[in-house]
Amino acid sequence: PVRVLTGITTSGTPHLGNYVGAIRPAVAASRDAAVESYFFLADLHALIKVQEPARVQRSTLEIAAAWLACGLDPQRVRFYRQSDIPEIPELTWLLTCVAGKGLLNRAHAYKAAVDRNRAEAEDDDAGISAGLFMYPVLMAADILLFNAERVPVGRDQIQHIEMARDFGQRFNHLYGEHFTLPEAAIEEHVATLPGLDGRKMSKSYDNVIPLFAPREQLCKLVFSIVTDSRAPGEPKDTEGSALFEIYRAFASADETAAMRRAFAEGIAWGDAKQRLFERVEVEIAPLRARYEALVAEPQVIERQLREGAARLREERATPFLAQLRRAVGLAPLD
């Protein structure tokens, strides 16, 4: 079977972008017998952005519950929390020592932070943690530890997968063929879900629609999606319309074609938003009910996560790290 791995950073409440870009396609793929799935909660990554312990913990619970509510079957899928596998930070160090610093300088998130500093005539690295700089190496360790072949992610993460390939290749070249080189798998039509303001939906832009917002809040948020000022009856552009893009991520091809016609015929924004709300609500409502029940039982989720990590360490992480330690010369003196 092909090994598929993906993670979500536990830095906030799961949102529709996580759902259409990661959770929904990953859970659908995990039902295929030809696929071996690894889904995890990237809580070590969360510390880069969030230094509020209660928020990291709450987010871990919410994202775990979201995966389960969306149909992840913990019997079939390897489901775990990054920080329960100490081999991940250990491998991060081995990869750090082969990772090119110049490559890390070019990582989008780090570069964007440097550019912001420059724009404000600050020191390049002012306020930037070494954790942010090392983000791609930790992510490479997540992927390479389990020799994942396919990594389903949104378009924003492609560069990170390419870096994982680079570090893996460098390591293989120096120490022998230990790592499989991963490929990114992008769902083309949902490449990047826009948020309320039309930019990429992201915790950092504060423009998200929480995946399990209660019905009334979901409706309110959908009605707050930015639109232009065209009046009812005036044709609307689908190009660049956040409303249309979000609709498309939830609708069938026929429904999308019908919405496209409605735009051309000048549907009122309020009517288009009502249609979007109803389409999302139909899909999310049954998942929301399950989610609420799961969040109310953190101990059940905690047990599943621990069992998931224990099993993975035994079957893969611990023996593989022993192999890598030997390969680099961290071997017993016998």
The verdict on whether residue 129 carries a ligand-binding annotation is: no
The verdict on whether residue 142 carries a ligand-binding annotation is: yes
Least distance CB 236 / ligand TYM (angstroms):
22
Four-residue CA torsion sign, 210, 27, 89, 163: negative
Residues paired with residue 150 on neighbouring β-strands, in sequence order: 4, 183
78 binds ligand TYM (CB under 6 A): no
Q: Which stretch binds ligand TYM (CB under 6 A): 86-94, 110-118, 151-159, 263-271?
A: 151-159
Angle, vertex CA 89, rays to CA 57 and CA 112, nearest 5: 75
142 binds ligand TYM (CB under 6 A): yes
User: Distances from the Cα of 85 to the Cαs of 44, 121, 166, 204, 317, in angstroms?
Assistant: 10, 41, 23, 27, 8
Surface-to-core class of residue 308, CB atoms within 10 Å of its CB (0-12 exposed, 13-18 middle, 19+ buried)? buried
The verdict on whether residue 32 carries a ligand-binding annotation is: no
User: x/- site string to ligand TYM, residues 175 to 194, per CB under 6 A?
Assistant: -----------------xx-
136 binds ligand TYM (CB under 6 A): no
Q: What is the spatial distance between Cα 8 and Cα 157, in angstroms, rounded to a whole number?
A: 11
**DSSP label of 33:** T
Q: Which stretch binds ligand TYM (CB under 6 A): 70-78, 113-121, 137-145, 285-293?
A: 137-145
User: x/- site string to ligand TYM, residues 201 to 240, per CB under 6 A?
Assistant: xx--------------------------------------
> Which residues make up the interface to ligand TYM (CB under 6 A)?
5-9, 17-18, 20-22, 42, 45, 139, 142-143, 151, 153-154, 156-157, 192-193, 200-202
